[in-house]
Each structure stands twice: as structure tokens, then as C-alpha cells.
Amino acid sequence: MPEPGPAIPASFNPGSLYIAGFTQARAPHVGLILPVDAQSGDLVHIRIDRSISPNWMYQHRAQKIEGDMFLSSLLKIHDVPAGAITVEDLQKAASVVPAPQNDTFGECSRWLYMVIQELDRLKLVVLKDVVALEEEFSTFASDNRAYARRDRFPNVAVSPHCA
């Protein structure tokens, strides 16, 4: 009989939009993820690939959720019952915000909150307080190192600062 997978929190549901935190050495790397199911979803983020460019670049890709040892945090910022957000909607908002033309640590976070503001402008999410949301995620993600394991589902919370 196969081993049961990690417990999936009741607050996680496919089709909702989450800020995703990936554990790394100094601070979490962040992106936005729209889960298809508990195993995977669509991720938009910026990253640096020095083999292509020395600067940040926008990327959309499939992202493993369950069993990813770096994905430690999922903060729900839009629940699917409030209205569906498509991958195309997410890509459209993300592509409006230019990737920074530098390689400064922490730019992924600044970029992400500008994308959330664009999603709010497009009336796809309701952003109540971007500063409070940023502080909330920073605190939440910094406490989730223990979730950066293949045998644990990322820690999931629901933000009161965005819907």
C-alpha cells in the first residue's frame, strides 16, 4: 500500500491565488501561484539566470506544490468562490509590471506586490492594504522553514488584507 502524502490543509483549494514563498538562505523567494490541484500549479515570478542575463527576468512556469522541498509558504490572497482568476489573467497582470533591470537581492518581493496592485486595478483581487499584506507575508514566511521538506505540504494561511 502506498505511503499517504502530506496532510493538505482545509484552507488550500485549487483555483485560488496564493503568494508562494520558497525557502532560501537569506529570505524567501516569492511568486504568485494558481494551483491546478495539490500537486502543481502555475507560477509567475521573476528570477535571475546569469546564463541568459545578469538582471531579473519574468518567468511563467508549471510549479510542483506537494513534495517540493523549497516551497514552504502559501498565503491565500484570493479565494476561487469570489471569482475565478485564469492563468491568462495572472500572466497579463504579471507582464505589465517590468522586471527590474538589476540583480539586487529582494527585488522579487517588490515586483510581486506591484503585480498584486495590478491585479487589484484589474478588479481580479481586492487589495485592502499592500503594506500590511507585505508585512504579514514576511512574518508568515520567515516562520515556515520547517515546511521546506518533501514530506510536508507548504504551510497555508489566508490573508485578511487581500481577497
Q: Is 81 within a domain?
A: yes
Q: State if pTM tops 0.95.
A: no
Residues in the chain: 163
Q: Is 6 within a domain?
A: no
**So what's the pLDDT on residue 51?**
82
**So what's the pLDDT on residue 5?**
65
Q: How far is it, in rounded angstroms, from Cα 53 to Cα 80?
A: 36
Q: Is 12 within a domain?
A: no
Q: Is 62 within a domain?
A: yes
pLDDT by 10s per residue, the chain, length 163: 455 667 888 899 999 999 999 987 667 789 999 999 999 999 999 998 888 888 899 999 999 999 998 999 999 999 998 989 999 999 999 999 999 998 888 889 999 999 999 999 999 999 999 999 999 999 999 888 888 888 889 999 999 999 9
CA 155, chain centre distance (Å): 12
**So what's the pLDDT on residue 142?**
87
**So what's the pLDDT on residue 99?**
93
Q: Is 64 within a domain?
A: yes
Q: Is 11 within a domain?
A: no
**So what's the pLDDT on residue 1?**
47
Checking phi first, is residue 134 left (phi over 0); if not, alpha (psi -120 to 50) or beta?
alpha
Q: Which domain range does residue 99 map to?
A: 17-158
The total number of structural domains that make up the chain: 1
- DSSP letter at 161 equals S
Q: If residue 118 lies in a helix (H) or strand (E), which one and from where to where?
A: helix 107-121
Please write down the HEC assignment for all residues of 43-92: EEEEEECCCCCCCEEEEEEEEECCCCCCEEEEEEEECHHHCCCCHHHHHH
Q: Is 102 within a domain?
A: yes
**So what's the pLDDT on residue 3?**
56
Q: Is 99 within a domain?
A: yes
